[in-house]
Amino acid sequence: MSWVVQDVVAIPNTEMYFFHAVSALDVCSRILEAKLNVDPVTPPADVAEILQELASMEPGSDSPPPLMVKYVEKQMSCAVNYSGLNIFSTCKPIDGIYLDLMQQAFKSYDERWKTWGLGLFMNPLEMEQNIRKDTTSTLPRHHLLQWLDKQEPNSVIRVSFGSAASFTDEQIRELALGLEQSQQKFIWILKEADRANVFIINGSSTRTFALPEGYEERVEGRGIVERGWAPQLEVLGHASTGGYLCHCGWNSVMESISMGVPIAAWPLHTDHPRTVLLLIKDFDGFAGR
């Protein structure tokens, strides 16, 4: 928490680093919405339009509760009073305009403030070794990758909504029927949202989704329902993967873009709607219902 490290200024040879696991657009827009005491910055006209559109979003069930908004505002209010480094898991081609706006806003307090986008944290050589079929390797290959090896290029859709999404039984049933009737090959990562106690293995917090009777038998050979861990980067980087239906969590978006996989977005909460707007405005996407 930023207020915990306010005493940093009294400790010699110490700096503060803030790592943001969301887009620079998300943080930049929330700073402006919170009307923090930062010098005004003048964004380009197209960026100003996006920020205005974000500010006009109607609060709804997907919006953070007021207590969460105040929590974020308090963190940012503490942060801008000290010098340090803002680190984003992003890069200039994707988030450059908003990284620059963040830099302008924070430097109004202290010239030593820096804002960096470090891109996606992955080892491309390791990724290539994990994705390709390596007949010399003695390591077991994940069964999803083995299945993808047998499919046509760009023929499979990955379906996953992250580790913080929870669906009703009715929503799961409708999604299952939609995938079945699409006649599209798919890998569906079907897990309940993570709970507060991640160490519970066999407890009441575990929920098993009930699919329509006989569902997995009907889609056998064309679709896989995976209820355990799946190697997301390797699946997205596989030549047989041609699309990704996802919640637009920032890590998933960055990984999908890095692998050149098109995204069908179903934003759920928190930063997801803002990320979708970034994809629409900056990557020539389109919105639909």
**With 70 as the cut, is the pLDDT of residue 10 above it?**
no
The pLDDT value given to residue 194 = 60
Query: Exposure of 126 by Cβ count < 10 A (0-12 exposed, 13-18 middle, 19+ buried)?
Result: exposed
Contacts of 233 (CB under 8 A, 6+ apart): 122, 127, 130, 255, 259
Tell me the per-residue pLDDT of 18-35, one tens digit each, with 9 for 90 and over.
888 899 988 887 776 665
263 phi and psi, to 5 degrees?
-115, 130
Name the residue with higher pLDDT: 48 or 164. Answer: 164
Specify the range with the lowest mean pLDDT, choosing from 135-144, 149-158, 163-172, 240-249: 135-144
pLDDT band (50, 70, 90) for residue 200: very low
pLDDT-based confidence at residue 152 (cuts at 50, 70, 90) = very high
Instruction: Name all contacts of 120-128 with Cβ < 8 Å and 24+ positions apart.
Output: 120/89, 120/91, 120/254, 120/255, 120/258, 121/89, 122/233, 122/255, 122/258, 127/233, 127/234, 127/237
For the stretch 210-220, pLDDT in tens is 899 999 999 99
Q: Is-contact 85 17, C-beta < 8 A? A: yes
* pLDDT value, residue 83: 66
State the pLDDT at residue 211.
93
pLDDT at 165: 78
pLDDT band at 167, cuts 50/70/90? Answer: confident
For residue 57, how far is the Cα from the chain centroid?
20
pLDDT tens digit string along 60-94?
A: 544 556 776 677 667 666 666 666 788 999 988 88
**Pairing of the two strands 185-189 and 156-160:** parallel
Q: Which domains does the chain have, with CATH numbers?
A: 2-117 (no CATH), 125-284 (3.40.50.2000)
What pLDDT score was predicted for residue 247? 94
pLDDT of residue 273: 86
pTM of the model: 0.79
One-letter-per-residue 3-state SS of 220-255: CCCEEEECCCCCHHHHHHCCCEEEEEECCCHHHHHH
Mean pLDDT of 180-207: 71
| 211-266 pLDDT per residue, tens | 999 999 999 999 999 998 899 999 999 999 999 999 999 999 999 998 999 999 99
Q: Residue 156's closest CA among 190, 176, 185, 188?
A: 185
Kindly report, residue by residue over 93-147, the tens digit of the pLDDT. Answer: 888 888 988 888 777 666 777 888 987 766 655 666 566 665 556 668 899 999 9
pLDDT given for residue 199 in this prediction: 44
pLDDT at 47: 66
> Taking 60 as the threshold, does the pLDDT of residue 204 lie above it?
no
